[in-house]
Structure 1
Amino acid sequence: METSGTRAVIRATPALLKDLRTLKVMVFHPEDRDGEQLTQQLQRIGCQVQGFWPPLPTLPEGIDVVILAVRPDIISLDFPWCRGSQSPTVIAVVTYENPTIVETVLRIGAKGILPSPVRSFGLLSSLVLARQLNDEIQTRTRRIQKLENKLLGQRKILEAKAILMETRHISENEAFNLIREQAMEKRVTNEEIATVIINANDILSFKKSGRDKEVSGLPLARGGS
């Protein structure tokens, strides 16, 4: 039985195959037989390919996929381009397996692995699957971030309502209506108005606290003897 998730994957796959010819691929691999094989296969697929070794600390703009040879001489390097919500799809090329190599593959966020020596069979499938996995992860990350921002905004509105209810002696509905009216008037979101109210309350509370400390520090007047 097909689910909505299955149908989404089926729809996505032809699009990913179609987009292969527009992909910009960076191959970080020594100039050996594997490196040549990778470059030639990617060019036959139709990808725009660039190659460098050792790996660059920063990527040229617009790179969609990075194919990286995970070798002992690069495992200590830092690759900032493999992190972030817009990071390219990373595919690792591994010659052998040991805990250090596997740890590096995980650290760079590889979505696919190509064993060395590289063969003519398997690159296309690895490329499509890695791209699909990377796209799904980034989509879910954006959704989670959006939900977290929404929850944060709701908490700010609750806090702002509590401040207005206490300082103006009004009901919860009246406090929310006041926030909404100000947001409509200023053409901003309710969350932005709530943030202003919270910040203003913090400043006023700080000033009041400062005055109280000054008063408490004054010497008490003594009565006549």
Structure 2
Amino acid sequence: MLNLEQYHTLVFDCDGVILNSNHLKIEAYFATAKNFGANDQQAQALVDYHIKLGGISRFVKFEYFLKDILQRPATQADVDFLLHDFGREVRERLANCEIAPGLHELRAKTASSNWLVISGGDQAELRTIFAERELTALFDGGIFGSPDNKDEIMAREINHDNIRQPALFIGDSRYDHESSSRAGLDFVFLHAWTDVPGWQTYCAKHGITTLPDVQALLHYPC
């Protein structure tokens, strides 16, 4: 039985957990590839790689796009173009996407817990979007993202005593589970908005607690 009362820290992924944005990120990757001059097949290959490596930084994905899909050098100019264009595509879509129902109620029920966001998304972009959506104040522990990866962020924040054990990571991808487990955090998988194929099999194999969404957490002791 999940007992939120025991946790000093709650760590949230963003896409598919706080924001219903996984499908929007897929649209943004496809559009960015097309804007760069890729054909539909190449753009879809980038989308497939993004889905396969959910939670991994966009820097890694665009390097793969250039080197492995387009078979060209990953120059800084091309990477910068892709990052800038993708950021624009994402911001347009995330300005109005759905926020997880129950998020504010859960914050009130876990008032003694430290809350953080640790995402594969760009950190500056995340902080801007959270400020625009009036979500920043919920996360007293901070909002963190790439270019640092989740392993690096969790190790740093644990070292700074910003993630205090026991701690729970609330995510929707394999990388969320793998990185949080390496850091010694408990994990719960939210599946309502996930884009991970075969998540049921993965979660059953690893004995992961699954819930549909943030609102479902309100039914557990806080």
Q: TM-score, normalised by structure 2?
A: 0.30
Query: Looking at both structures, which has the greater relative contact order when contacts are Cα pairs under 8 Å and sequence separation is at least 6?
Result: 2
Give the structure with the larger helix fraction: 1
Larger Rg: 1
Q: TM-score, normalised by structure 1?
A: 0.30
